[in-house]
Structure 1
Amino acid sequence: MSGGGVVLVSSSIVRPVNSSQSGRTKIHLTPFDLSLLQFDYPQRGLLFSKPDSDFHLIISRLKDSLSLALEIYFPFAGRLVKTENLEDDTVSFFIDCDGSGARFLHTEAKSVSVSDILQPDGSVPDFLKYFFPADDFKSCDGVSLPLLVIQVTEMKDGVFISFCYNHMVADGVSMWSFFDTWSKICSTGSCFNYKPLVLKGWFLEGIDYPIHVPVSEAERSPPSREPSSVPITKEWIFHFTKKNISDLKAKANSEIASSSDLEVSSLQAVSAHMWRSIIRHSGVSREQKTHCRLVVDLRQRVNPPLEKDCFGNMVYLSSAITTVEELLDRGLGIGSKVGNTIVIASSPRFEVYNKDFGWGKPIAIRAGPSNSINGKLSVFQGISEGSIDVQAILWGDVIVKLLADLEFLEHVTIA
């Protein structure tokens, strides 16, 4: 691996401390899980200041604590198994929690500084994609690849710890829970007093497992050989301060006050502001429909509710739909109201700035290049209290127009 000044130092497999306990759990996959067969491994990364300790000792400590964390979150150390159903020419999948382990990459980019990543104008540098592991891994690749890959990059004055994971195994709630446990074990050196992992329980009942999947849906889609004429996208970080969000909420709530008793949340207000502003500069005709695809966490929405921290993939995609005309003409409130019952997966509700591996808390979070499409918004908790960061992937001309849009910038803080 080499690119963007990033050099591979070592690659290894980290197994749970008791990896000999193979086959202790076989996890069946639900229809929600299997719908993600062609989905890229989600990628996230945290930026830290560089510790004073010898970095080889840091790497050793990270790997030792990862082994302990994988003993608790054992599905991440398993492998995807595909079986053929000859009677109907289909295939089935399950997770074999066999302790095969997670991939751990140690890389260096000693010419890169923290300031190179934290661009003052909010732009995301192109080289950052090399700080993330396993680009172009898809869920269906889990039959031959690890379900979790970690990359730790030593920089000139910082450390970037990134990860990617098979989305059929876990969602954001489960992944950040794992990351929290790993950081605490690394910081304290102890893995005691952690509760056993809670799986999906009754949610798996009433379905005839294993589910049969047509072979065509289970195989990796061939890459397009057609030359791309799609405009080039850019990535940008838009920061919403606590006051920015308060003003947006007040505006949205005042606009829907006569038609709804519901109060617009911070996430809804920010999402609606981004949605309206992007569509305004996308050249879409006013008669066309526009939709915002969002991810819903099912844990507390099913009956009876599941445990809030139960492990697995418990999300599905939902869409908020309206016309461009209605979205633009009826104000911020309509964008908030349309998305009233939905939640964004990359959520500011995920606490990311408390992940301390023993040398301090993160100073930034970034999403990796997987699943990169125009219009993708990754929404994160901001580093300052009550703030939200949105990492947007948009056509370059749309970014330029947003940065010149006074109505948009009125509620956004750049740098």
Structure 2
Amino acid sequence: MEGGVHIMSRRMVRPAAEHAGELPDHETVHHLTPLDLQTITVDYVQKGVVLPKPPGGGEHVVEHLVSSFARALARFHPLAGRLAVAETPSPGGVPTISISLRCNGEGAEFVHAVAPGVTVADIADSLYVPRVVWSFFPLNGMLGTDAAVESRPVLAAQVTELADGMFVAMSLNHGVADGFTFWHMFRTWSEISRRSDDSADIELSTPPPVFDRWFVDGIPMPIPLPFAKLEDMVRRPVYTPVEECFLHFSAESEGRAVALLLLD
């Protein structure tokens, strides 16, 4: 394994609707629930997949992934929004703030990178996760609250071309959505990307997402937080560096696990 990761381009991708009425005609606001607010101070959800190098590769494939990402984002248009912080009035003059998701369609970040000295085997055959893998993820090291302080995207994708494959990754603000929504978006992007132009009008097998949030009766919306400013609610602990390991599961072992689950 030689060299590192080189960023070729960064762009902001806005939702691209395939059908009329797929996108709202005005900005909406989603207030965060208590559970959302508990997870907004942690790192972004980050996952990625290693894929074989497609025929032709290069810029053509990246542009195709950008286009399909924009169409998937139309279904998940709140993830193209931005977090907003507001001072909220409170009895007794105690300073409070609130955090909401403004669904304004500003877009999600898309990064194209290359790592010509890294092979699929360098990643998959290693017991420990190579340090270079961290560079395959966008918005790496950001906490959920950083997106509100700096008006950064709540969702980002990165396509890294390897010597003999591709690494496709996403990062999602945990205060905006959970791991289920993360993989729901990933599967939708994948399905749209695999379709040909002739099948664009065919209904996706992946169901549309649901972004409605539930609040207990009587809870004020937005929920006031007892802080004078957003930075006061964030803790940035320094962790002791550790080695992370890969866990490999064969198709047979996965099949047995699924069979056991079905028995229950």
TM range (shorter): 0.7 to 0.9
CA gap 1:49/1:14 in 2 versus in 1, 3 angstroms: same
Residue 103 (structure 2) pairs with residue 233 (structure 1): no
Question: In the alignment, residue 39 of structure 2 is paired with which amino acid?
Answer: L
Shift of 1:137: 1.0
Give 1:55's match in structure 2, choosing from 55, 58, 77. Answer: 58
- Which protein has the larger Cα radius of gyration, Structure 1 or Structure 2? 1
CA gap 1:191/1:124 in 2 versus in 1, 3 angstroms: farther
CA RMSD of aligned residues (A): 2.7
Question: In the alignment, residue 11 of structure 2 is paired with which amino acid?
Answer: S
Shift of 1:114: 0.6
Give 2:143's match in structure 1, choosing from 131, 138, 143. Answer: 138
Shift of 1:242: 7.7
Give the TM-score normalised by structure 1.
0.53
CA gap 1:242/1:149 in 2 versus in 1, 3 angstroms: closer
Identity among equivalent pairs (%): 34
Structure 2: tracts of 5 or more residues without a match: 259-264
Shift of 1:127: 1.6
Residue 118 (structure 2) pairs with residue 105 (structure 1): no
Shift of 1:91: 0.5
Shift of 1:212: 0.2
Residue 165 (structure 2) pairs with residue 165 (structure 1): no
Given that residues 40 and 176 in structure 2 are in contact (C-alpha distance below 8 angstroms), is that contact kept between their aligned partners in structure 1? no
Partner of 1:212: helix, strand, or coil?
coil
Match of residue 42 from structure 2: 39
Match of residue 230 from structure 2: 218
Match of residue 262 from structure 2: none
CA gap 1:49/1:387 in 2 versus in 1, 3 angstroms: farther
Given that residues 106 and 153 in structure 1 are in contact (C-alpha distance below 8 angstroms), is that contact kept between their aligned partners in structure 2? yes
Shift of 1:204: 2.9
Q: Counterparts of 1:136 and 1:114 in 2: how far apart (Å)?
A: 24
Higher RCO (CA < 8 A, seq sep 6+): 2
CA gap 1:154/1:17 in 2 versus in 1, 3 angstroms: same
Partner of 2:135: helix, strand, or coil?
helix
CA gap 1:387/1:119 in 2 versus in 1, 3 angstroms: farther
Match of residue 199 from structure 1: 211
Q: Counterparts of 1:150 and 1:172 in 2: how far apart (Å)?
A: 15
Q: Counterparts of 2:177 and 2:241 in 1: how far apart (Å)?
A: 31
CA gap 1:221/1:38 in 2 versus in 1, 3 angstroms: same
Match of residue 312 from structure 1: none
Given that residues 240 and 387 in structure 1 are in contact (C-alpha distance below 8 angstroms), is that contact kept between their aligned partners in structure 2? no
Partner of 2:243: helix, strand, or coil?
strand
Alignment of 1:269-284 (within 5 A): none
Given that residues 150 and 162 in structure 1 are in contact (C-alpha distance below 8 angstroms), is that contact kept between their aligned partners in structure 2? yes
Q: Identify which range, 210-219 or 55-64, moves more after superposition.
A: 210-219
